[in-house]
Structure formats: C-alpha cells, structure tokens
C-alpha cells in the first residue's frame, strides 16, 4: 500500500506539472490497475480532461491507428468532431485545456512501431506546449523489450518523457530476488534480501543491478553486507541516469 501511495503521489505531481512519463513494471505487478487508478483520480475537471487508451484494443497497431484511437475516444468524451491529432492539439490550446492521455499496454507500440512514431509522439507533446501530455504504461521491464545495445537509443527517441519505474512491493521484490538467486546459483539470507529491498526501494532495474553486482556465491551474511555496501557506489552510478530522469 505504501508503494502504491508513493506512486500515485509521484504521478499526481508530474501531471500537475504537465509532464509526460512512463510507468514501467513487469507482468503481474499491476501497471494496468495503477493506470486505471490514475484515470479515476484525474476525472474530468474544468480545464483538465483525461483519456484512457488500451492498445490491446488495437489489433493492427500503426502510427495512424494510434492517433485515430485517441481522436475517436476524445470525440466520444466531448461530442466534438475532430479529425486529426493536429486539430485536437489546436482545440486543446485554443480552449486553454490540459489533455492527459493515459496509454495502457504501451509495450505494443515499443515493439511494433519505429523511430518515426516516437519522433511524432515527441513532436505532438512539444508542439502542444505540454497542453497534451502522455502517461504510457509498460507491463514489461524495458530490458525485456529492447536489448542493452538498443536501450540508449530507445531512451533518446522518447527523451521528452520523464521515467518512472514502478516499484515492486516487498513481497514481489523478495520473489524477484529469489528467482534471480536460483538462476545465478546464489545463496542469500532473508537479511540480505531485506537489505537489497531497502537499498533499491523495490525498483526493478536497481534490484537487477545490485544482484548482478554481487559475487555468484555468498559465503555468509557478513560478506553479503560488505559486498552490497561496496557495490553501492558503482551501481548507483550505473543507475544515476534513471534517477536523473526521476528528478527532472
């Protein structure tokens, strides 16, 4: 409950600042339910409108169908007859509105659409003067979608976004640690897992980085504590880019 409250608080702050951002998780950690909670939190107000889009409803996803889905949903909501994303952006600006577009299953766009799509998405955000903002949820860790070589390019393509990595609960963090522990033939005590959870706050990529920075086999809890502490500086440096995005 604490992590959910923290996530909602973070999202509310970003929305008030008219920031676009990603919500990233893994299957089963509730990204979709989190996005629906946001939709309820930000129901229609005088100057703010909220759309919820589920890309699972788009069978053949293209850049055109992505924006058409948004336009159709907006027309349903407002009884307008807008026909293009440019028209929609102009309407929002002319009426001093803020349109928040919440996109679920965004991993479909990441997998299926190319650089032009992300350039266009960034252009839409920038040309609207942040009057149109996007909250896009991925139900997979980015590293499961793009390999290490592609990840920097992916970050660059959507550089208009601030990155928010949805933290795992303590229970899910322990489960994730245990899975990696078995895969890498490691042996961790509950105390060590507790330390890892506290250090990372349950953020998936931080958890991965800390675990992979440890030796393959721990001799005892004391050694594990030393290893975690000694790994902190290098791992924090590796993940600093992510936290820089969080603080932008």
> SS3 of 209, please?
helix
Give the global pTM: 0.64
Over the stretch 153-179, which tens digit does the pLDDT of each residue have? Answer: 555 555 556 555 566 778 888 888 888
Domain boundary assignment for the chain: 2-165, 170-247
CATH superfamily, with its number, for domain 2-165: P-loop containing nucleotide triphosphate hydrolases (3.40.50.300)
Dihedral of CA 179/34/150/211: which sign?
negative
Q: Is the pLDDT of residue 230 over 60?
A: no
Over the stretch 111-153, which tens digit does the pLDDT of each residue have? Answer: 788 778 888 888 898 889 889 999 988 876 555 555 444 555 5
Burial 133-170 (b: 16+ CB within 10 A, else e): bbbbbbbbbbeeeeeeeeeeeebebbebbbbbbbbbbe
Q: Which residue, chain included where needed, has tokens 């600006």?
A: 93
6 or 73, which is more confident? 73
176 or 88, which is more confident? 88
Average pLDDT value for the chain: 74
């Amino acid at each position: 409950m604490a992590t959910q409250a923290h996530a909602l608080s973070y999202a509310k702050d970003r929305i008030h600042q008219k920031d676009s951002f990603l919500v990233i998780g893994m299957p089963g950690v509730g990204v979709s339910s989190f996005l629906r909670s946001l939709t309820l939190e930000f129901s229609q107000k005088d100057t703010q409108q909220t759309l919820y889009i589920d890309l699972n409803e788009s069978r053949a996803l293209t850049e055109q169908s992505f924006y058409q889905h948004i336009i159709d949903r907006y027309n349903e909501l407002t009884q307008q007859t807008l026909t293009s994303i440019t028209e929609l952006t102009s309407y929002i600006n002319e009426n001093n509105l803020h349109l928040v577009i919440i996109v679920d299953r965004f991993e479909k766009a990441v997998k299926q659409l190319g650089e032009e799509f992300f350039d266009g998405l960034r252009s839409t955000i920038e040309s609207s003067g942040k009057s149109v903002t996007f909250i896009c949820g991925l139900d997979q860790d980015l590293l499961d979608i793009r390999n290490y070589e592609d990840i920097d390019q992916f970050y660059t393509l959507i550089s208009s976004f601030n990155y928010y990595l949805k933290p795992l609960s303590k229970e899910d963090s322990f489960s994730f640690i245990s899975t990696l522990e078995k895969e890498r033939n490691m042996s961790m005590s509950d105390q060590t897992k507790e330390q890892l959870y506290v250090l990372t706050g349950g953020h998936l990529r931080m958890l991965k980085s800390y675990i992979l920075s440890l030796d393959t086999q721990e001799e005892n809890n004391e050694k594990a504590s030393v290893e975690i502490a000694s790994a902190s500086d290098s791992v924090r440096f590796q993940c600093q880019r992510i936290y820089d995005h969080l603080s932008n």
